[in-house]
Amino acid sequence: MTAPAAEPLTPSIGPGAPLLSVKDLHSYLATSQGVVRAVDGVSFTVHETEVLGIVGESGCGKTVTCRTIMGLMPARTVHTEGQVIYHPRNDINLLQATDHEFQSLRGADLAMIFQDPMTALNPVLSIGDQLIEAVRAHATMPTTQARRQAIDLLERVGIPAAPRRMKDYPFQFSGGMLQRALIAIALASSPRLLLADEPTTSLDVIIQDQILSLLLELQQDTGMSLILVSHDLAVISEMCDRIIVMYAGQVVEEGSAADVITAPRHPYTHALLDALPHAGERGQLRSIAGSPPSLIAVPPGCRFAPRCRFATDECHSWDTELIDAGERDHTARCWRQQEIAERQDSWQRSELA
């Protein structure tokens, strides 16, 4: 679990016009065991200057969603359907973009930071060479100018002695420094949307906090939009304007960070919040009973029903859909959400008493 920040993180204020619209996205992976329905009907919108959080357990479809948006899933083994509309480029559907179109979009409009900084960089090229390549990918300039810009980027992300470290190779950087270098590369062409896929997974808690604070600071300085993917609901709640909760390839809840955290409406979101450690609480951490379903043989009805303490027979056959959970575009994929919320509130009051 990520340690709390020394100073409270402050998400951006007031998102603007729609930047990216994901509509009924399906991404199915062909394997020797069968077809994995990794992303199964996901829809959401990212607005200008917004920080959007995507949270859920490992295997819920977060990474595949991001890689599909970026056009990084192998076409031979992955079947995609739906729409991923990038509005600033004449509402282009990224699922139908050509390699040439994606080449012009990646870096200049869309950029991504991957989970493992240790394997994301080329081990036989210096940090400086890789950063200069990123700087010159969408701008024609002399090498000396690109080098100056690369040094400025390294300094901006907090790497000391940047001119000297340009000559270093990835193995000479720590995990935290590598992640900072990856952020610098992602920012090289000033993207309008940055996707950060669990950017602190392999880092210790102190470095995690530094990287997350850096990302939020850069987002606010540049005005770019940010999709932050994490399994840690505490991190997502601190950094994001809106939160999407994913489970078994589907969005099960979406709303403002305040609504999702203070008034959750899906049992899975309740379970994630209950699993967080609380101040002054000792003993064994709470966990969610059971395991996520196989995405090769998805059960009928609500996919969380086998693990849900509130489930009834109807839950195992209900054709699930997102239902309005209140004001401000708060939705949840649970037909008993109001009843469950009232029962949850009652239990919490009894525990406090």
pLDDT tens-digit profile of 58-75? Answer: 999 999 999 999 999 998
* pTM for the full predicted model: 0.89
Q: How far is Cα 137 from Cα 65, in angstroms, rounded to an integer?
A: 25
| Same-domain pairing of 71 and 173 | no
Q: How confident is the model at residue 7, as a pLDDT?
A: 42
H or E stretch covering 324:
strand 323-324
Which of residues 171, 188, 205 is at a domain's end?
188
CA 83 and chain centroid, separation: 19
Percent of the chain with pLDDT strictly greater than 70: 90
Q: How confident is the model at residue 105, as a pLDDT?
A: 93
| Phi, psi (degrees; rounded to nearest 5) at 347 | -65, -40
Comparing 1-5, 88-92, 102-106, 243-247, which segment has the lowest mean pLDDT?
Answer: 1-5
**β 51-55/242-247 pair status:** parallel
| Phi, psi (degrees; rounded to nearest 5) at 196 | -110, 105
* Residues in contact with 74: Cβ distance below 8 Å, sequence separation at least 6, in sequence order: none
Ordered strands of the 331-332 beta sheet: 110-113, 193-197, 225-230, 51-55, 242-247, 250-256, 331-332, 323-324
Residue 285 has pLDDT above 80, yes or no: no
Q: How confident is the model at residue 73, as a pLDDT?
A: 93
Comparing 61-75, 205-219, 297-311, 335-349, which segment has the lowest mean pLDDT?
Answer: 335-349
Q: How confident is the model at residue 281, as a pLDDT?
A: 61
Residue 10 pLDDT class (50, 70, 90 cuts): very low
Residue 9 pLDDT class (50, 70, 90 cuts): very low
Contact criterion met (CB below 8 Å) for 288 and 56: no
**What is the CA angle 80-85-89, rounded to 5?**
130
Is residue 288 in a domain?
A: yes
Average pLDDT over the chain, rounded to whole?
88
Q: Per the structure, how many domains does the chain have?
A: 2
| Same-domain pairing of 200 and 336 | yes
Is residue 83 in a domain?
A: yes
Is residue 168 in a domain?
A: yes
Residue 216 has pLDDT above 60, yes or no: yes
CATH code of residue 255: 3.40.50.300
| Same-domain pairing of 11 and 49 | yes
Is residue 266 in a domain?
A: yes
Is residue 114 in a domain?
A: no
Which of residues 188, 206, 232 is at a domain's end?
188
Residue 33 has pLDDT above 70, yes or no: yes
**Domain assignment of residue 296, given as a range:** 7-109+191-353
| Same-domain pairing of 230 and 298 | yes
H or E stretch covering 251:
strand 250-256
Residue 282 has pLDDT above 90, yes or no: no
Q: How confident is the model at residue 318, as a pLDDT?
A: 86
Residue 1 has pLDDT above 70, yes or no: no
| Same-domain pairing of 250 and 349 | yes
| Same-domain pairing of 199 and 238 | yes
What is the mean pLDDT of the segment spanning 93-121? Answer: 91
